[in-house]
């Protein structure tokens, strides 16, 4: 699964790298948690737009907003057949920007958090889905992160990892007119392990109330 991640780069730098328009305000986040507002990129087929959405998908047909608490992740397996995800998978795909994510490893001393990053320390993009839920005329935009099997970097910590997309498929993934589900499903694979790294971090990250740069510091030992 993916239950916590980071995004610390400035908006202007992100716009240059990912080529999107955005009118939102963005501050560095070192411990993003479910139900918070997170930066997503969508497209109308011609331009990319950055928008803050609630992390935890609330399908348009949902009767209760609380369903979002169970929808922070969407398993890649069978995603085009599941009621909550099949329509967004066809027409409402998004990128969710991050520069690292956390997972917890079971040890004799308790659960040890690790941070996973790219070898080059660059920001990357999770494959996501989004939807719009309306109550009393007010729209709620929400999203979920797609997960897949672990790779050799993540497998000793967790058996799942978020789908990280390579830059050369961003345009296809965001294109609402592209509905070749077999091709789209073929993108939902573990990211190449040789391009990733991990390191242990402080258990301060266990609480989403903690949100400071010190959370990114590696532990000397575990």
Nearest to 84 by CA among 17, 22, 131: 131
Distance CA 191, CA 198 (A): 14
Active site residue 122: no
> Of residues 2, 22, 94, 143, which has the active-site annotation?
2
- The pLDDT tens digits of the residues spanning 121-171 come to 999 999 999 999 998 889 999 999 999 999 999 999 999 999 999 999 999
Domains of the chain: which residue ranges?
4-211
CATH superfamily of 4-211: SOS response associated peptidase-like (3.90.1680.10)
- Confirm whether 103 is a catalytic residue: yes
CA-angle at 200, arms to 194 and 206, nearest 5°: 125
Q: Which of 9, 103, 108, 122 is catalytic?
A: 103
Query: Hey, what's the torsion of the CAs at 63, 65, 71, 77, to 10 degrees?
Result: 20
pTM beyond 0.85: yes
pLDDT at 45 over 50: yes
Token readout for 64 is 């209760």
Q: What percent of the chain has pLDDT over 90?
A: 94
């Amino acid at each position: 699964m993916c239950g916590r991640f980071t995004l610390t780069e400035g908006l202007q730098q992100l716009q240059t790298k990912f080529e999107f328009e955005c009118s939102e305000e963005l501050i560095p986040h070192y411990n993003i948690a479910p139900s918070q507002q997170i930066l997503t990129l969508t497209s109308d087929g011609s331009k990319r737009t950055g928008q803050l959405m609630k992390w935890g998908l609330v399908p348009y047909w949902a009767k209760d907003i609380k369903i979002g608490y169970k929808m922070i992740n969407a398993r890649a397996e069978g995603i085009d057949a599941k009621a909550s995800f099949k329509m967004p998978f066809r027409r409402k795909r998004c990128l969710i920007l991050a520069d690292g994510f956390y997972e917890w490893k079971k040890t004799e001393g308790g659960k040890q958090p690790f941070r996973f990053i790219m070898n080059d320390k660059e920001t990357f993009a999770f494959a996501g889905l989004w939807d719009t839920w309306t109550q009393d005329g007010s729209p709620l935009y929400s999203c979920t992160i797609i997960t897949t099997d672990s790779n050799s970097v993540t497998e000793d910590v967790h058996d799942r990892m978020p789908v990280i997309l390579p830059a050369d498929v961003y345009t296809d993934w965001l294109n609402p007119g592209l509905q070749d589900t077999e091709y789209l499903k073929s993108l939902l694979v573990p990211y190449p392990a040789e391009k990733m790294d991990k390191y242990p971090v402080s258990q301060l990250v266990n609480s989403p109330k903690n949100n400071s740069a010190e959370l990114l510091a590696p532990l000397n030992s575990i």
